[in-house]
Amino acid sequence: MKKLVVITGASSGIGKTIAKQFSKNNHPVLLLSRRLDKMEELELPNSLCKSVDVTDLEKMQEAIKEAESKFGKVDCLINCAGIMLLGDPKEQSFNEWNDMIDVNIKGILTGTNIVLKDMVSRNEGTIINISSIAGRKTFDNHAVYCGTKFAVHAITENIRKEVASSNVRVITIAPGVVETPLLSHTSDENIKSNYNEWKKSIESGLDPQQIASCIDFAYNQPQDVCIREIVIAKTKQED
């Protein structure tokens, strides 16, 4: 059996596809999401599924400890949980801003806080944070979402530098539009409609499998090779 991989946001979209990819590659996997039934439906071998809010440090610790007791130390943490709530900043509710900050920023910090020190002590391990092109440039109706993804980029790169001497890799994956349920979280129907019309102009978003393949490629480099960031989008996506 290969080494343990932990995946947040594993019930749908990119996280679900990553879970299947790593399981196919014979890794034991800890799948974390609030929707337990969706993860259990995958029926992956050597897997543990836990309904956990990624902002809950105690519950995250309990889940990771249980997985490590079954499968050994975490070799790779993939922080994939995220929400995208698009809105006009003049109109959008503070609660939506707050939710994005909680899930998109705090959600990468809980798991990192739990596994990083042990990875450094072992001189091995990889943390992969799923960010976005919206972590590199701004877009209308994306103000706070962009802010959270800029934070993911900054936190990832800064931690990468600080643990590099311990042979631990910290990697940013920044996709453009991907065919996932992410847009469904947005409450403004007009913004959703315009977004979907724009997607038609680029002939849909990326398949989540293409993101999983990038992650698989980066992870399977030798431990002393760190692909710091991958930015991937449809060729026709200009922005």
86: amino acid identity, one letter: L
Tokens of 175: 């996709």
* Predicted confidence band of residue 1 (pLDDT cuts 50, 70, 90): confident
Quote the pLDDT of residue 219.
98
Catalytic residue among 145, 153, 177, 214: 145
What is the C-alpha separation between 187 and 100, in angstroms, rounded? Answer: 13
Q: How far apart are CA 109 and CA 89, in angstroms?
A: 26
**Cα separation of 72 and 57, whole Å?**
20
Res 217: pLDDT: 98
Amino acid at 236: K
For 209-237, write each residue's pLDDT tens digit: 999 999 999 999 999 999 999 999 999 99
CB-based contacts of 95, cutoff 8 Å, min separation 6: none
The pLDDT value given to residue 127: 99
At a CB cut-off of 8 Å and minimum separation 6, what does 92 contact?
85, 144, 188
For 33-47, what is each residue's pLDDT tens digit? Answer: 999 999 999 999 999
Q: What is the distance, to the nearest Å, from the Cα of residue 164 to the centroid of all Cα atoms in its chain?
A: 21
Query: Do 29 and 101 contact (CB within 8 A), yes or no?
Result: no
CB of 181 closer than 8 Å to CB of 13: yes
pLDDT tens digit string along 55-64? 999 999 999 9
Q: pTM of the prediction?
A: 0.96
- Give yes or no: 145 in active site: yes
Residues 40 and 52 sit within 8 Å (Cβ to Cβ): no
- Region 162-171 average pLDDT: 98
DSSP 235: T
d(CA 216, CA 207): 15
- Which distant-in-sequence residues (6+ apart) come within 8 Å of 158 by Cβ? none
